[in-house]
Amino acid sequence: MSSRIGFETLDDEMTLESLPTEGEIPEWLDGTLVRNGPAKFEVGGRNMNHWFDGFAMLHAFRLRDGEVGYRNRFLRSDAYTEATEEGNLTRREFATDPCRSIFKRLFQTFFGNDGTDNACVNVTRAADKHIAMTETPMDVVFDLETLETEGHFDYEDDLGLDTASAHPHFDFDREELLNLGLNFGGTSHYRIYTQPADSGSRASVVRHPVDRPGYMHSFAVTEKYVVMTECPWVLNPLTLLAFDKPFAEHFEWKPEQGSRFLVFDRNDGELVTEASGPAMFTFHHVNAWEDRGSLYVDLSAYPSAAAVESLMLDRLRTHSHGELGARMRRFEIPLNETSSAREHALPEHSLELPRIDYRPRNGRPYRYVWGVGQSDPGEFIDHLVKMDVDSGEVSTWSEDDAYPGEPVFVPRPDRDPDSGEDDGVILSVVLKGEDERSHLSIMDAADLEEIGRARLPHHIPFGFHGHFYG
Ligand SMILES: [Fe+2]
């Protein structure tokens, strides 16, 4: 029960040329793992409410010639800079608002141009720039070498999104990024846009009307289709104007309406089909693919949106979050009829923050998913998981008092891409609770045996997502 330090602020920024290591750091690992996550949870003596609200810090692990260097920097978003200078929260975060006494400027939303740019969720690359992302459309550019913040990504279009997912997809054949967004209004719209890899200009593909939009953290894509999973955690957009409360508090859990899978044609944006599904809540789609007239989608799902409340900081710090409840679920959606999605059984093992062998298996049949799991409702995420979705076999890695983060798969450069789906390593930042220190762990992706680790002199607060820039 010592994971609390993972939700405590890390103030220090540092550059360490070479971390002490144990075991072996594979010589072929040549690149930079960038992790993103919250690292400052209070402003002016006031605590943030939710794990998602802390100010973003980037952590870069540089792997080269068997050595590991490290650098960390707070993202100098406007939200961070204003809060630091004024000693108060100035922007509306996911579940924390500025104090009312401070909140006397113009009407301000979570998602508009005056919303938050605290991009603490994920990182990606577009138009030769490295980008930190949250769920507002204000992406923040950073320098991969120095981690210095370079300002907002300057889109050349006027797509006019109110929110955007921090989980874009990348199509390596078409050399384009795809992402999900939302517009709020009397009638709201789910949006899908594409962005050529070398361009700062986005093009709208899908604009689908919806009265009560659901919260969507991610989506899935196949060669021909885009799949959205609309869970019954929905809001009435008019309340965004009428009531002054944090963004997350506008959503209501409506299990009676179930979930809805929306499938769109990637080329013309037309709705191909929709299928009903059980009431559930998801942050992360794992993968989707087409097979014999059906579309299959795998996701990490919770029984309900109570999962969002479980991640309030006071609950996480006091171990009163309970069972988080994320499990892999698979749904088959018939493409030629409007019907119910059919569920196929997958192992009941706890699994969140899923990663796959993204290239070349995203949008195609796949076999392995890596993630993190929770073994005890009184504990936070406490082990790594590898699941074989064909055989149902589950492998795990755990260690006493160790709390691993999202496992990023890095394929061995000379692997056979057809047979070597798990031929590579897993990179995971692991927190040792009692030591109050973190380390980068390098595991054999096939059996989750640890190969080596690089130790840090401090803890890294639990983060969300990252990317290996090879
Ligand atoms: Fe996420």
Tens-place pLDDT, residues 177-188? 999 999 999 899
- The pLDDT value recorded for residue 104 is 43
Tokens (6 digits) for 132: 């930190």
Tell me the CA–centroid distance for residue 292 and ligand 1, in Å.
Answer: 30
Distances from the Cα of 305 to the Cα of 88, 247, 325, angstroms: 30, 14, 10
Tell me the CA–centroid distance for residue 132 and ligand 1, in Å.
Answer: 13
Count the alpha carbons within 13 Å of 80 in the hemisphere toward its beta carbon: 21
- The pLDDT value recorded for residue 103 is 45
pTM above 0.85, yes or no: yes
Tokens (6 digits) for 146: 């120095």
Q: Would you call 29 exposed, middle or buried from its count of C-beta atoms within 10 A (0-12, 13-18, 19+)?
A: buried
CATH of the domain at 150: 2.130.10
Tell me the CA–centroid distance for residue 24 and ligand 1, in Å.
Answer: 30
Query: Cβ(236)–Cβ(257) under 8 Å?
Result: no
Q: Which residues of the chain fall below pLDDT 50?
A: 101-107
- The pLDDT value recorded for residue 108 is 53
Q: Collapsing DSSP states into helix, strand and coil, what is residue 255? A: helix
Query: Cβ(463)–Cβ(404) under 8 Å?
Result: no
Which structural domain range is residue 50 located in? 3-469
Tell me the CA–centroid distance for residue 402 and ligand 1, in Å.
Answer: 21
Tell me the CA–centroid distance for residue 135 and ligand 1, in Å.
Answer: 10
DSSP H or E run through 71:
strand 67-74
Which residues does 305 contact at the CB level (< 8 Å), separation at least 6? 215, 231, 232, 233, 251, 253, 281
- The pLDDT value recorded for residue 98 is 80
- The pLDDT value recorded for residue 342 is 97
Tell me the CA–centroid distance for residue 167 and ligand 1, in Å.
Answer: 7
Distances from the Cα of 357 to the Cα of 21, 156, 222, 308, 419, angstroms: 26, 32, 15, 28, 12
Tell me the CA–centroid distance for residue 161 and ligand 1, in Å.
Answer: 19
φ, ψ (nearest 5 deg) of residue 340: -90, 145
Number of domains in the chain: 1
Tell me the CA–centroid distance for residue 336 and ligand 1, in Å.
Answer: 31
- The pLDDT value recorded for residue 112 is 60
Distances from the Cα of 15 to the Cα of 137, 146, 215, 231, 457, angstroms: 30, 9, 38, 42, 11
Rounded CA gap, 53 and 102, in Å? 18
